[in-house]
Structures are given as C-alpha cells and as structure tokens.
Chain A
Amino acid sequence: MTSVPKIRYSRRSLLKTGGAALAASALPAPMVWGQSIRDITLRQFGTGVSNLNEVATKVKEDLGITLEMTALDTDSVTQRAATQPDSFDIADIEYFVCKKVWPSGNLQAMDASRITNYDKIVGIFRDGKLTPESTIAQGTAPHTVGFVEGPGGTEFVNNESGWMTLIPTIYNADTLGIRPDLIGRPIESWSELLNSEFAGKASILDISSIGIMDMAMVCEAMGEIQYGDKGNMTRDEIDRTIAIFTEAKQNGQFRAFWKTFDESVNLMASGEVVIQSMWSPAITAVRSRGIPCVYQPLREGYRSWGGGIGLSANLSGMELDAAYDYINWYLSGWVGGFLMRQGYYSAVPETSKDFMSENEWGYWFEGKESTDDITSPFGDKLAGAGEIRDGGSFYDRMGAVACWNSVMEENQYMVRKWNEFIAA
C-alpha cells in the first residue's frame, strides 16, 4: 500500500506491535473465521466515489475476503439495487435512494448488535443530531431511512431500533465552488450564483435531483421562495424555482451546465466559469493543477449527502458473517482514514484518527491550520503548511447542513420541468 505513506498498519504489524487491543475490538473476525473466510467472495457495487480498488486490496490483505467491485453511475446503481437482487451481495447506495430500494425487499436489515463500533457512529446516522443541540435539516436526512422495526421490517422507524438499513460509509457537505482569483471579493451567499456580475460565468450541474436542490438553495437565499421542504417540493414550488432559473438562463447567466465530474473540473480550471455547483474532490482536482479554487462555505448552509452499504437479502450463513466482518472492518478505521484524507467524512471518525497523522487529522477533521503539506492518499499535494480547510472543522461543516439529497414525491414532474429548463 504505497498510497499510505506515513502510517502503514497491516494486520500482522498490528498484532505484532501490541496493537492487540485495537485489533481485538476491530478485527475479531479473522481470528475466528480466518481460514474459511479466505474463500469467500463478496460482490459489491456502487458509485465510483467509494468503490475504490484500494479498499478491495486492503480487505483482501486484512480479512482475506475477495471483494469484487463494480462502479456504476448514480442512476444505474439505483436501478440495480431495485431490480437485480441476484447480482450483488453488498449494495453501496446513497441514503435518499433507500426510500425507493427498500420496498423492493432486495436488502436485509442489519443487526446493530453485531456492529462493533455501532456506539461510535456519528449521531447524524442514529438520532439525526450531530450534537444534542443540532436541528435536523430538510430533505431525506439519513436517520429517517436508517432503521426498520425488525429483521424483516419494511417500514422505516424514527428511532434506533437496532435494525439498520444501511451502514453509513461516506458523506460530505456540498456547496458552491469559486475561483477567488477571478472574483476578487468575498462570496457569502448561495444567491451569488445568479448575481448578474457573473453573467456568462456561472454553472450548475445537469443532474436533476441534485441540481433542483442547489436551485432551491439559491432561490431561498435570494428571498424569492420560502420552501416548506426543499427536499420535497410542491408542484408550485418546482414551477417557480424552474421559472427563475429559466429566466436567468435566457439572460445568459450560465456558461454551461455540467454532468460529469471532469466537466466541472475543466470549466473551473479553464476560467470559463468562476462560480458553480461543485463536488469536493473536483475542487481538489482543480487545486492540484495549481489553480486557486475554494469550496466556499455560505451563510445559508450546505447541501449534504451520505452513502452507506446494505446487505443483499440473499446473503446467509458464512457469506452473511463475512459481510458483517467486512462492515466491522470498514468501520474500524483504515477505510475512514483513506476517505477522510480525500476530504470526505467517515461514519466513525474516531477510529480513523489512528490511521491519519496528527497534521492530517487536524486539517481535515478539526479545521486546524496544517503544520505540513497535506497530500491525498494518491500522493497529490492538496495543501501546504499553514492552510485551513474550506469551511473549517467537521462540526462547523456538518453542523451547517441546510438540506439532504432526496427524492421528491413529485419527482417525475420535476424531471419533466428540468428537461424543459435544459431545452429552454
């Protein structure tokens, strides 16, 4: 694992160097199942964000489980989870998709008592509250679809029932990306996306379910529309939102719309666009070219998303045990560290701490000034010494979530209006 330069724990060194306490709590399984689990293959699919080959390599090394990864786009992930139950053992899906996938009966609830680090999972995924004082954001907040009443449960319940739909793996708070060098003044509100100052230099993503949410953040910030729930708009709210953006489009506000990660990077890096909806790793990609780019915290808050892994209903016996081992391993820290050093968050941040240097932990999680270069797990330099992460600490960022990604009841209507917007 050359991608982990500073701290390298293999299972052997952990056991050897007296990390036995950690190993015993996090990796109990290999000692019990060590021999037989080596033959087990688990088929996992998900989006490219978390379906990383490094994870498969590491789990093979640590547990001996062979993980076959299939990376698909968001829409195909949903389709497969809902329609092809025999094609996977582990589904890596987003929380908001749960509402659609769970009724198909293709996933089985997980026994929380078998999840070693369950108590350490961040509150967002349990009672919905990051800290006891937090308010719960609009949209499909993960805890609302995170639990069912029992092993065969079909209804989501609003408490920690002990039976989980998904184990949270990766999540983040999204906002607008800007080019500070080309804007030259502070940006503080989502409403700046439609500021005529940036006419012909703005962009929004052409993925309807997420784009409409960014639009809503803008319209609300402008004071044009007050939404009941941005994650579940009425037809009237959809119409008014799209109308505002159609007018802006016809006035030439947008340079382009983007659909893929690469497009958003190129638009920003080339200076075609100076303000746009963006994803965290895209900011990183622009920066690694030496171009200034900021993931701008805004006063109205973030649009957030979270993914998790669910178990296929077909899993049983040894495969099911292996899947639980895999999940426990996933939450035991190595993967968390790997993801957090790319700017995402882990469901159990405290276990990841052991797999990050003090400098990395301070920069990524605590929002402290870096004391040395910050590099990605792939070796790219992301920040120098003395820099601070955009948006600050974990609690500053995840505490300011205004809305979670969601699927609306009026989804089909919204999609049609979205197509009209693109064709307008």
Chain B
Amino acid sequence: MTKQVTAWIQAAPMAAVLLSFLVAPIVMIVIVSFWGATEYSIYPAFQFDNYEFLFGSSVTYRVFLNTFKYALITWAFTLVIGFTVAYYLAFEIRSLKWQIALFLLCTIPFWTSNIIRMISWIPFLGRNGLANSTLISWGVIDEPLEWLLFSDFSVILAFVHLYTLFMVVPIFNTMMRIDRALIEAARDQGASAWQSLTHVIIPLCKPGIMIGTIFVTTLVMGDFITVRFMSGSQRANVGRLISNDINLLQYPSASATAVVLLITVLIVIGLLLRLVDIRKEL
C-alpha cells in the first residue's frame, strides 16, 4: 500500500464521523431553511419566505444586537476574571502540586449540571433572596433591589459564572508554556512588573485568549436557556427566537434563523482568527 492510501484510510474514520454528525446535519438545516411550513407540518420547497421575513422584521435586528451585547459584555468579564485567575495559578503559585490542586478546584462546579448552577442563582438573587436580605440586614439598602433578578444583570452574571472557566483553561495552558527565562530577561532589562505583563506575558498568551474568546462567544451566542431562565423570559436572544419557532413547529423558519446565526458566528470567528494565527502559535 502506498503511503497516500494509508493516510486516507487513517483519516477516514474521523472524516466519516465529521461528515455524518457535523456536515450532514448542517446541510440538512440549510435545505430545510428554504422549505415552507403550515401550522402543523413542513413541506419541501425552494422559497426565500423565511429569510425575507427574518430580514424584514425589526425584531430580528434588535435580537441580534442584544445577542452581541450579551456576548461582548460576557467576554470582557470572563477575560479579565479568567486572565487574573490563570495568572495567579501560573505565576503566583510556585509548586506544581498546588497548581494542579487549585486548577482542579476550579473545575469542581462542573461536576453539577449547567442548568442547576444557573437556576441556583434565582433564589439567591430574588426579591426575598439571600442577597437582598443580607444587604437589608447590613443596612446598605432599605428596599429589596429589583434589578438583581430577571434582568440583563442576572443574565450576564449567570453567563460569566458559567463560562469563566472556558477562559481560564486555555489561558492557563499557554501561560504554563511561557519560558520563565523570558520574564527574568525582561526584569534584567529593567522592565517593571506591568511592562513585563503587557510586553511579554499578554502577547505570549494571545492564542490562549483567542481560544477562550471563541469558546465564550460561541457559547453565549448559541445559548437560549440561560437567557430564558435568568431574564424570566423577558429578554430575547437569537437562541430564543429559534426555540420559539421550534415550539410552534415552524422548523423552516427556525432553520433560517439558525443559518443566519451560524454565518454570523463564523464571521466573528473568522475575524478573530485574523488577529491571531492560532495554528502558528500553538
């Protein structure tokens, strides 16, 4: 057997998996997005109605804008928190044993379900919840804060809580691979701690930051359940548009929205990858 044939055979299982579980479903979604729907069934067709309605409705633009807003704010918070945590683990903790122990500690919340971690905020933030009653007993506030729950605040809080680890892990990973001699060299050259952070560490962490960014952005943009629960159904993002359509059996229209969302996310990722060549840096 020639080398080339062997290579093809070796790649075949993975290719088959990707084709049947990634490419085929997406192709299916694209096809269905051109279909028509009655109230209780869908029928094959090739029409642009779904897209026409999608782009013709002001709701779509508002909801996409809202989705970007959530993604951007969540990204900023997870980046700052994630970077700080990773920095602490990588540079402040000296022994490898403790680094690993503390890193595992960060992952413990992931032993419970996503939904449970999210919903547990509801009684905490509620009108008569722990946060409000504590603040009142401290005398900080007289009336319970209404905006703590069922607001943009609670949605973003839940996102940050759920997804910060996705920022910590890749950044920590790149930080651990930074040659300590480089930092020593920076210090020898007279760089302050801040200068070595901005000129040495951050540039070298870029691939990690970028991977974390991709994780967080795609997770937030594709979410629907967090927005629904934490806003008490009062806010909408693209995921909720899709889920509403599915509930009403409007699969073609849901597919069209999904296709537009997919393209949007791909464009975002494309732009991000132009900033940093992950392949080269890894």
Contacts and interface: CB of A to CB of B under 8 A. Distances in A.
B247 A75 contact: yes
Contact of A200 (B146, B235, B240): B146
Given A271-B127, A419-B241, 12 more contacts: A83-B40, A206-B233, A254-B232, A266-B122, A272-B126, A411-B39, A419-B236, A419-B244, A422-B233, A422-B234, A423-B62, A423-B66
A79 interface: yes
Interface string B115-140: 00000001100111100000000000
A420 B235 CA distance: 11
Interface of B: 39-41, 57, 59, 62-63, 66, 122-123, 126-129, 146, 149-150, 228, 231-236, 240-241, 244, 247-249
A206 B127 CA distance: 21
Contacts of B234: 249, 254, 256-257, 422
Interface of A: 73, 75, 78-79, 82-83, 100-101, 104, 200, 203, 206, 208, 249, 254-259, 266-267, 270-272, 407, 411-412, 415-416, 419-420, 422-423
B60 to A, nearest CB: 9
Contact of B40 (A100, A271, A423): A100
Contacts of B232: 203, 254-258, 267
A400 B41 CA distance: 36
10 contacts: A79-B40, A101-B40, A254-B234, A256-B231, A258-B233, A266-B122, A270-B123, A270-B128, A272-B127, A423-B236
A373 B256 CA distance: 55
A412 to B, nearest CB: 7
Contacts of A267: 232
B67 to A, nearest CB: 11
Contacts of A423: 59, 62-63, 66, 235-236, 241
Contacts of A416: 57
A423 B39 CA distance: 22
Contacts of A82: 40-41
A75 B236 contact: no
A416 B59 CA distance: 9
A83 B127 CA distance: 45
B150 A256 contact: yes
Contacts of B248: 75, 208, 415
Contacts of A256: 150, 231-234
A257 B241 CA distance: 16
Nearest to B42: A83
B212 to A, nearest CB: 29
A76 B57 CA distance: 27
Top 8 nearest A-B pairs by Cβ distance?
Answer: A256-B232, A257-B233, A423-B236, A82-B40, A206-B233, A256-B150, A423-B59, A420-B59
Kindly name the residue among A101, A270, A407 whose own CB sees the greatest number of chain B CB atoms within 10 A. Answer: A270
B128 A271 contact: yes
Contacts of B149: 272
Contacts of B247: 73, 75
B189 to A, nearest CB: 54
A418 B267 CA distance: 30
A344 to B, nearest CB: 25
Contacts of B150: 255-256, 272
A365 B196 CA distance: 79
A81 to B, nearest CB: 9
Contacts of A249: 234
A159 to B, nearest CB: 28
Contacts of A415: 248
Contacts of A101: 40
B158 to A, nearest CB: 14
Nearest to B146: A200
Nearest to A257: B233
A208 B57 CA distance: 19
Contacts of B129: 270
Contacts of A254: 232, 234
A86 to B, nearest CB: 15
Nearest to B53: A416
Given A200-B146, A270-B123, A419-B244, A78 B40 contact: yes
Contact of A422 (B122, B123, B236): B236
Nearest to B244: A419
A249 B39 CA distance: 28
Nearest to A417: B59
Contacts of A419: 59, 236, 241, 244
A210 to B, nearest CB: 13
A263 B41 CA distance: 29
B61 to A, nearest CB: 10
A251 B241 CA distance: 23
Contacts of A200: 146
A350 B241 CA distance: 47
A257 B231 CA distance: 9
A272 B232 CA distance: 11
Contacts of B63: 423
A257 B127 CA distance: 16
Contacts of B231: 256
A209 to B, nearest CB: 9
A417 B95 CA distance: 60
Nearest to A103: B40
Nearest to B247: A75
A43 B129 CA distance: 45
Contacts of B62: 423
Contacts of B57: 416, 420
A249 B235 CA distance: 11
Central interface residue in B59, B123, B149, by most chain A CB within 10 Å = B59
